[in-house]
Structure 1
């Protein structure tokens, strides 16, 4: 993606140079578990959380450690994230204004190791996520190396842009009341039926990421969309379950299959029309 010399968002909190004090909290309490099941990009389900976190987290120490200073590469990656967030701000502000609404810009927090949020504590092993309690996106950028090495995605800078835009999609759902309605609809449902609603929410966020890419075409490089689709393919529930569990359990899906995630991103990218993000009508 063409990003050098372009506007950077002021709404990024870069905590990577801060020490992560105390113990690393993974899904602390029921709110933390909800983050992992509903809002985490990676697509883990209840049966998968423990082995996945153990593999990704490894032997991470729970002791307080001083964070290493940011390298030049880290600083450039942070600048890239700020440009991607700025693009999301500009595009979604325009779309919301055209529909008679006001777009409230979220904060994006970069961290290392562990982080405390309004939704509880989480570690880098949980993957990027959005917390509706403080309307912030949280990302440990080391996730993208894991995405490539452990889950087989192609990598590339646009995979990062796709993930950020997916999480911004959750922010849009919060602003529009979709997330609240989904959680209300889950009440009294069986686990399988509740999971289908979660899948619809996640696929709609993928669709919104595609809509963003549609309106950002002038800044895309050849191969960017392929990088996004490779990332979407890598984090489908079926792909993750097959890799981490050796078996696929469709009723436990919370984010959608690889095919579904790629389809809805492509639909958003092709149409650029928010009204076509009808995942709740189509995912039954």
Structure 2
């Protein structure tokens, strides 16, 4: 989605830092492998593979200094890091009102860290190869803005503003799950096509869709998103398809192994995002009730 030019960004909404260090694993193939491991299994798996040897400075200035160029909606439409800050503000605006009105739970803002190369987190060290993730230990979403270029170059994603915003909205969805108590199912049942991990990820996709459906045209806060165009919606659905377990497995290993699924298939990620977007109803995001994860409507 496009931000109106008069949107007012808060550079302090994100923390940053990290240097562009040596590529963990060495070369495109190694980086691709670690990206896939990170997308499927999370930062802990990358840390186990690399032994924590990713290099890169985590020295940083204040957010106001590092993101001083992020001030307006025009900046958000021009720069990826500014777009992530504006998206976080839009997500805050939405969830601050929607979460208590539907669950009685007061929304607590998660942290947002935009890093390069390598960073330390409450869940351990992470490199840019891990992809975006949410750490419940420090309630922070982590993202290397270079991830979006990597997704286009290595997995053929279309890209586009809403595709990028969807990725961050998904990570904020994990924070909402942390607040309402569903995030833990991923660790209790970590793999398989019907696993708790898959259901957690698909619910986060649905929560991202909730935000997308409600946020456009919301002028209640400092940032204002314009209406979603069909092309932008298509780009978000394309991003969901590209990071489906079956698509990633087929691309990287030439076969699909459902018993190793952790995030859901491309189709499932698309239909659950669209369910949130179309219905605008948190109750319709209950993936844990769904008997058929390919058909969200069948659960209700």
TM surpasses 0.5: yes
Equivalent residue, structure 2, for 1:201: 200
Match of 1:263 among 251, 258, 271: 271
Equivalent residue, structure 1, for 2:116: 112
Would the alpha carbon gap of residues 113 and 63 (structure 1) be closer, same or farther in structure 2, given more than 3 Å must change? closer
- CA offset at residue 80 of structure 1? 1.5
Superposition TM-score, scaled by structure 2 size: 0.75
- CA offset at residue 83 of structure 1? 1.0
Equivalent residue, structure 1, for 2:72: none
Equivalent residue, structure 1, for 2:97: 94
- CA offset at residue 98 of structure 1? 1.2
* Aligned-pair Cα RMSD in Å: 3.3
**Structure 1 residue ranges without an equivalent (≥5):** 26-35, 55-60
Question: Which whole-Å deviations, capped at 9, do the CAs of 1:197-250 have from their partners, x for residues lacking one?
Answer: 100000000000000001023223422211110100100000000000000001
Equivalent residue, structure 1, for 2:30: none
Equivalent residue, structure 1, for 2:227: 220
Superposition TM-score, scaled by structure 1 size: 0.79
Kept in 2: contact 1:159–1:231 (CA 8 A): yes
- CA offset at residue 262 of structure 1? 0.2
Distance in 2 of aligned mates of 1:5 and 1:43: 38
Would the alpha carbon gap of residues 86 and 102 (structure 1) be closer, same or farther in structure 2, given more than 3 Å must change? same
Question: Which whole-Å deviations, capped at 9, do the CAs of 1:128-171 have from their partners, x for residues lacking one?
Answer: 00000000000001110111111111111111100000000000
Equivalent pairs, count = 254
Shifted more, 78-87 versus 268-277: the winner is 78-87
Distance in 1 of aligned mates of 2:120 and 2:20: 10
- CA offset at residue 180 of structure 1? 2.6
- CA offset at residue 20 of structure 1? 6.7
Higher relative contact order (CA 8 A, sep 6+): 1
Note if 1:143 corresponds to 2:147.
yes
Kept in 2: contact 1:206–1:265 (CA 8 A): yes
Match of 1:128 among 121, 132, 148: 132
Equivalent residue, structure 2, for 1:103: 107
Equivalent residue, structure 2, for 1:2: 2
**Structure 2 residue ranges without an equivalent (≥5):** 26-35, 61-65, 70-74, 218-225, 293-300
Equivalent residue, structure 2, for 1:238: 246
